[in-house]
Amino acid sequence: MPRHDDRQFDELRPLRIERRFTGSAAGSVLIAAGRTTILCTASVEESVPPWKMRQENPSGWVTAEYAMLPGSTTPRKRREKDGRGTEIQRLIGRSLRSVVDMQALGPRTVTIDCDVLEADGGTRTLSITGGFIALVDAIATLPVGIDVLTDSIAAVSVGIVEGVPALDLDYREDSTAEVDCNVVMNGRGEFVEVQGTAERRAFRREFLDAQLDLATAGILRLTQLQREALGDLWRAEWE
């Protein structure tokens, strides 16, 4: 049975990446997977949180904020911070920090803001994929240079839809999936985080393995697209 949008079960949604979308932040990217569209910006402050200042030699810090704009969904989403948004921005921050040498970054903070303009599934994973591109552009403006980045990072959703493992779920698939997973990996093919939930009933090990195989192949493709978007800023050691 084909997917409702005629994609193969191992096929990503069409991805669009537009770097330097805004001029105020040190790094910015408009990234879209199908209809899901997110503006990721990276801003730099020459300071660190108070708890890091208490350290003898304060290292840097990378953090993230995530929000769905009111018009990103139907019906309109109210402007408020909820538990889901807090959990997602923590995931984004953890993922991006995993590829940054904080000591080499020095006592400065990079904040990645991920604002969802339109939501059609996979907003947290697309925020990580786009957030990394914005992070690279921001780090490239600093004296320390992008060598403080130890790897690339990307993420994708997978799930079991009508009994079949599927890659990069949109909202229609995600809302009816029997299993829903989000997978974060670095450019070397190592897992950074795996979130998986049986939405209806427990699932067998082979279904988990199938989803991880799909995610691995999908993230390899996303990494290639990140490399193409970043051009000369890409480093061979990130894959």
- Higher-pLDDT residue of 1 and 64 is 64
CA nearest neighbour of 126 among 85, 183, 79? 183
Residue 220, pLDDT > 80, answer yes
The pLDDT score that the predictor gives to residue 9 is: 96
Instruction: Report which of 155, 217, 233, 229 is spatially closest to residue 11, judged by C-alpha positions.
Output: 217
Flag whether pLDDT at 201 surpasses 90. no
Q: Are 105 and 127 in contact (CB under 8 A)?
A: no
Query: Per residue in 78-100, pLDDT tens?
Result: 888 788 999 999 999 999 999 99
Return the domain boundaries, the chain.
15-233
Is 194:179 a contact under the CB 8 Å cutoff? Answer: no
Which residue is listed with tokens 């949109």? 170
Q: For residue 83, what is the enclosing H or E element?
A: helix 83-97
**Omega prior to 75 cis, within 30 of 0:** yes
Residue 28: its pLDDT value, please?
98
Residue 209 pLDDT more than 80?
Answer: yes
pLDDT digits (tens, 9 = 90+) for 24-58: 999 999 999 999 999 999 999 999 988 877 777 77
CA distance 20 to 37: 15
Question: What does the mean pLDDT of the chain come to?
Answer: 95
pTM: 0.96
pLDDT at position 79, please?
Answer: 86
- Tokens describing residue 64: 């993230």
What share of the chain in percent tops pLDDT 90?
Answer: 87
Burial of 122 (0-12, 13-18, 19+ CB in 10 A): buried
pLDDT of residue 207: 95
Q: Give the residue-averaged pLDDT of 14-19.
A: 98
Q: Which two tokens stand for residue 214?
A: 């799909």
Residue 211, pLDDT score: 97
Tell whether omega for the bond before 107 is within 30 degrees of 0, i.e. cis. Answer: no
* Whether the predicted pLDDT of 1 surpasses 70: no
- 199, 180 contact by CB (below 8 A): yes
Count of Cβ atoms closer than 10 Å to residue 70 Cβ:
11
Which residues are bridge partners to 161 per DSSP? 164
pLDDT tier at 129, thresholds 50, 70, 90: very high
- Classified by CATH at the fold level, domain 15-233 comes out as Ribosomal Protein S5; domain 2 (3.30.230)
CA dist list (Å): 111 to 60, 64, 130, 144 = 11, 5, 13, 17
Structure tokens at 129: 């994929």
Q: What is the pLDDT of residues 135-163, one digit of tens each?
A: 999 999 999 999 999 999 999 999 999 99
Amino acid 199: pLDDT: 86
Percent residues over pLDDT 70 in the chain: 99
What average pLDDT does range 206-219 have in this prediction?
A: 97
In terms of C-beta density within 10 A (0-12 exposed, 13-18 middle, 19 or more buried), how is residue 111 classed?
middle
Task: List the structure tokens of 85.
Answer: 């948004």
Cβ(1)–Cβ(162) below 8 Å: yes
